[in-house]
Structure 1
Amino acid sequence: MTVGPARTVVALLEKLHTAFSGFNTAFNEGQYVLWLGSGISRDRVKNVAELLTSVVEHLRVNIDIGDDDCEYRTALNEVLRLAALRREELDTLDFSTTFTSWPLRERIVSTLITNYSQVLDVSVGDSNPDDYLVWTALDVPNTYGAPDLVPDVEHYCIAILMLEGLVSSAVTANWDGLLEKALAELTPAFESRVRVAVKPDDFRNAGPSIEIIKFHGCAVRARDNQGEYRQLLVARES
């Protein structure tokens, strides 16, 4: 007989002492590293669908309607090409109206989600930097790196596990600094206890008992030190 998932806290705790007792013991001994994804920050920062909507709208709103060679129009056409629209469908799009009002918006976004790294790699003219869509269209410093973002319950729970010594290391693909912020709120000794590693040199800081490895970069550090950390934001195909 197939055993269903635990639906209550009591049932989950029971499984941790029976079917998953081996995992429970190993976790309590600090044998696990946490692998963190966007789910822990979903209620605090934009998801991929919202991210792509921002990109399309940014390009659309900057189009010079009177210029057929407008670099924003060219970039938007390239993005829409990645959405695999037919020529007759492309001809129905009205660039003078907001992207959220387009009848094909949901289909465009759902298709682009699987190609988001290619979308963010689209260049916008010759004068803009290669990461223009990441840095400017998404406004990374003021969205994912915004100083007024507040940690969610997931960040605080993970921070508590780390401060209690049950987890010494967490690897994350997230740009935001919400886990670090939760840790800083919960311990006055953040600087001496926590190492945030984004680039190779960050691993040279020996001593901290808690480690957060941000292999896609960090929006907070890129905001505060653009020259050193902006290029480490990973999102583009290239």
Structure 2
Amino acid sequence: MSILEINSITKNAETMLDYFKKGEESVDQILKRSNKVSEKVLCMWEYEKALKAVNSLTVNGERRNVILDDLQRENRQIIAFQNENRWLKEAVELCISTLNDVMEGHTSIREAIKRQESLPHIQDFSNLLPACMESTLQDELRENVEKMCEIVSAAEETQIKDNALYGQLVTENKVLKDMIGWAFLSCPTARATMREALRQIEELEEENHH
């Protein structure tokens, strides 16, 4: 393997490392937003428990309209949280897919380096070089291999973090679905209210697009 090839591989590896760092920062931002969603979901959960406790006394009483208005507002928030959760999930899936592709590229590079090192003509060529140049090449190759190992280790750690974040988002998505199911059980008109809230959200999204 020539010096130009080694330098090219090193440059590509450093570029990939920069990409990993930027991707990790993006994942950290997504995780912070996901934690905020979790806090909001917890508040919604507590609200649902309180609503269920007093539902039998107030759902048909004088506070019916107030409760229905509150439920409609909370349903809009649930839908908004669910949409945000879906967007975060898609972003994490895209990031994981990209990292997997880069990891495959790293594996190919490592295998290529191993194949080049095992070729006999590399050893024959090195015997023709002066001793000082041979030492320089060995040091440079060793340094490049160490950099590649560091990059691969960083990529593996990032992939583990992304998988953990993906599992968290799946759990939050299940909680949101359960909360919507509880809303349907706690109020006979919840389903109709949910449909109306969805319709209003779609209208707002269309207006924003225009």
TM-score (structure 2 length as normaliser): 0.28
Give the number of the structure whose residues are more often strand, by fraction: 1
> RCO higher in 1 or 2 (8 Å CA, sep ≥ 6)?
2
Structure with higher Rg: it is 2
Give the number of the structure whose residues are more often helix, by fraction: 2
TM-score (structure 1 length as normaliser): 0.26
